[in-house]
Amino acid sequence: MKKNIPAIKHPGAALIIPFINRNEVVLLRQYRPVIKKYLYELPAGTREKDEAALACARRELMEEAGYSAAKFIKLGSIYPVPGYSTEKIEIYQALNLKPVKRCPEIDEILTQSIADKKRIRRLFRTGQITDAKTICAFALCGWL
């Protein structure tokens, strides 16, 4: 028997793996007030009304990481919480980065660093990378 389960309607999101070079990425450490913790994450954000996923990826890369990219490659998509939300996250690899002025949203508390594959794997193995969308993105690009 099917139940009528209410769902949270979500416009979708984009996540970006910003590659500085083959072996280094931009990694964020962002405060998440809901869980009262800082998390290691990749730049990501919710799509605005009628915004394409790639346009969202370009915007979030500039806002959160302070880079623009000459090339984006779509790696895949995920449904992070299909039990109660329609959210679909499109995951992109960003290449040929150029620094731009970073302008995070007023409620975003984050810092950025450059991390190589070895550090990412160590952070994951030691339970320091726990953000699901970030774990999925690193798995899709072959880093986990």
Is position 2 within any domain?
Answer: no
Burial of 46 (0-12, 13-18, 19+ CB in 10 A): middle
In a domain, 3, yes or no: no
CATH number at residue 117: 3.90.79.10
Q: Does residue 1 form part of some domain?
A: no
Number of folded domains that form the chain: 1
Per-residue pLDDT of 20-77, as tens digits, reads 999 999 999 999 999 999 999 999 999 999 999 999 999 999 999 999 999 999 999 9
Q: Is residue 8 part of a domain?
A: no
Whether residue 40 is contained in a domain is answered as: yes
Residue 78 confidence (pLDDT) above 90? yes
**6 belongs to a structural domain:** no
In a domain, 5, yes or no: no
Q: What is the extent of the structural domain holding 26?
A: 13-140
